[in-house]
Amino acid sequence: MPTLTNAFQQPIGHPVPDWSARPRPERIALEGRYCRLEPLDAERHAADLYAAYAQAADGRDWTYLAHGPYTDASSYRDYARGAQASTDPLHYTVIDRATGRAVGTLALMRIDPANGVIEVGSVTFSPLLKRTPVSTEAQFLLMKYAFDTLGYRRYEWKCDDRNAPSRKAAARLGFRYEGTFRQAMVYRGRNRDTAWFSIIDGEWPDVRAAFDAWLAPENFDAEGNQRQSLTTIRHAQAAARDAAGRANDATRVTVRPLVAADEAAWRPLWQGYQTFYDTALSDAVFATTWARLMDPAEPMFVLGAFDASGALVGIVHAIYHRSCWTEGPYCYLQDLYTAPDARGQGAGGALIEAVYERAREAGASRVYWLTHETNTTARALYDKLANNAGFIQYRHDLKQ
């Protein structure tokens, strides 16, 4: 997606055409296969909820909540009455369709209709609800309501950074971790660093597809055990999309060695690469480097990626070493750069694969990469392709 600028050539956000404030969530029931969400009603739900919570062996489920635990049904009913009166958070009760009983609550909160942002919180699930299809479907129903019915753009999950089960649940449900706000609040007389997670509308179709596949009856055996986990399904679907994307990219991006006539197109890309290091290149450096790249006697070579229109959108410089005292022939990949407007279209991956192929043809057994530790874009790409996360130096062993 191209970077947009204003009249002063300053980068700005992409337009959101015809945007209008979203509706506020309503006190309505949301029906699922395994559960139903109903607006919290203390008189109807409090007794069941207290009985469900009382089945816990201890009070640890309340550690990261601002209220509870409750020592008797009356005190919980008092809390439920206050929660019922609230419009933000707006609390929903989870009803297990198999038993008809209330087994937990969760809420939509920090509701921001103007910006289309909403959070799920106050998740209070009893032992009857945990690790069941009911608990997963309850989360899914509320997400689907926010995105598909109300049209919100962003769905948030926040928790105490020390709340490992909540962080794990967020990741399982498809939320992306965004960072931790240090000393964000004080509750129960102690500090809370708050971990932020979100799903945005562009990600929602993929998240929804994974939920639909996991909740399908055929994903459970006769005893109600899952056949595939939600995480496994999500990863499999992502791999399939990546494979399809690579196939499409292969038809849009072509790679070939650059020739003398490509110098003018090569220059701005190599300068773009150097800007990461705050380096401005002189004409003499350009000329010397290009001469080495074009000299067949030099070990350096340059490949370029071209889009469907024939424009040069990416380059990679590499050096082929016939041997050294420690090993046989190998290739060193350096100076990989793609034009900002062309990123996400497969040019970088196609260039790396082309270096692999050229290295194989030359008899090399491996390819080395080296990148600056702060170059997060390159590291993310290299980590993905090398499956070697956490290392600054990478080695790719070639299969002959």
CATH 3.40.630.30 assigned to 253-397: yes
Q: Boundaries of CATH 3.40.630.30 in the chain?
A: 15-244, 253-397
For residue range 314-366, what is the model confidence (pLDDT) as tens digits? 999 988 876 544 456 778 888 888 998 888 778 888 888 888 888 877 777 77
pLDDT at 281: 76
The residue ranges of DSSP E strands in the chain, in sequence order, are: 4-5, 11-12, 30-31, 35-39, 90-96, 102-112, 117-125, 154-160, 176-187, 190-200, 254-257, 300-306, 312-321, 330-338, 366-370, 393-397
Q: Among 12-21, 172-181, 188-197, 375-384, whose mean pLDDT is lowest? A: 375-384
CATH 3.40.50.300 assigned to 15-244: no
Of 180, 279, 82, 344, the closest CA to residue 170 belongs to: 180
For residue range 79-122, what is the model confidence (pLDDT) as tens digits? 999 999 999 999 999 999 999 999 999 999 999 999 999 999 99
Q: 200 falls in which pLDDT band (50, 70, 90)?
A: very high
Terminal-to-terminal C-alpha distance of the chain: 37
CA distance 102 to 98: 11
pLDDT at 371: 67
CB 118 within 8 A of CB 146: yes
